[in-house]
Amino acid sequence: MFLHAAIPVFIPLHHVMKKSSQTCLEDSPGPVFSANTLTDAAVAAFQKRILDFYKTRGRHGMLWRHTDDPYRILVSEIMLQQTQVDRVALKYPAFIDAFPDAAALTRAALADVLATWQGMGYNRRAVSLKKCAEKMVSEFNGTLPRNPAILATFPGIGPATAASICAFAYNLPVVFIETNIRRVFIHFFFAGADAVTDAEILPLVEQTLDQENPRVWYWALMDLGTDLKKSVPNPNRRSTGYVKQAPFAGSDRRIRGMVLKHVIGNAPAREKSIVTAVAEDPARVRRILIALESEGFLTRGKDGFRIAE
């Protein structure tokens, strides 16, 4: 009865780092921990700071944090991969109402899944989610394995998302990094540092992990990371993996969404009607139609395009 989206890095808890001495200025508002040396007392102080923030300012109302159903956690994690929380909060209930479990999603037509997904963007995630449900039903009796390495073989699930699902569905003490977690650790442990790598952050994530309740611990880290983005210059700009997202307006991603929306509502849709509806360069739209067909989103018949079955 509890539960949050991820970016690539997961390691199992098969080793434990030795903790050494350092000092911690608990009451300072800024980054106050050393990445090089970390005592038990400093770990406890860091955990207290994170959990105190969560108690008073955490996002406790999100629906996916009030379930430990693996399928529903899967849906939320896939949605949260590349979509803001506020939008997911609006779309998640409708998706769960339409497809309440893996069996329902498996039975559904892809056109219906994509129609329900409209407004989320990155439609490949909807296709992957349906394929995950099919794998759950055919191989795992409708649920998800508790092993992140096995989960990472599911469509659209990388190592970090696999680990986050295990943390939130099964409360397992796995170690992973996503964008908000990265932001917290760079802010608190790498003051003034540039070009911070995930390899430097991962041992700190492992060493500071709340082994008794990793689920709540990761919620707390993610919520503080979200808050930091609004209150300080984004620490993630100092990560070696930082890439600024390309604008949505005028992108192929936007046109792909418009094409799929038109075909969902007007199937079979002829190429000419799609080009007219999208109102973009016809050659560009044709290229996108070819790509959507090759990726399995669309099928082309004599009477026009349909969503693939």
Active site residue 200: no
20 half-sphere exposure, CB direction, 13 A CA radius: 4
Q: What's the gap between Cα 129 and its chain centre?
A: 12
Amino acid at 119: G
3-class state of residue 252 by DSSP: helix
In terms of C-beta distances under 8 Å and separation of at least 24 residues, what long-range contacts does 265-268 make, across chains too?
267/111, 267/304, 267/305, 267/306, 267/307, 268/301, 268/303, 268/304, 268/305, 268/306
Give the whole-angstrom CA distance, residue 160 versus residue 279: 38
Tell which residue, 216, 105, 232, 98, has the closest CA to residue 167: 216
DSSP secondary structure letters along 64-88: GGS---HHHHHHHHHHHTSS-HHHH
Cis (ω within 30 of 0) for the bond into 268?
Answer: yes
Q: 72 with 242: CB under 8 angstroms?
A: no
Residues in the chain: 309
Residue 122, φ and ψ in degrees, nearest 5:
45, 65
List the structure tokens of 35: 């990445």
List the structure tokens of 227: 């808050």
Q: Tokens 């980054």: give the residue.
A: 31
Given 26, 77, 271, 295, the catalytic residue: 77
3-state DSSP helix/strand/coil % of the chain, to nearest 5: 55, 5, 40
121 half-sphere exposure, CB direction, 13 A CA radius: 14
Residues with catalytic annotation? 77
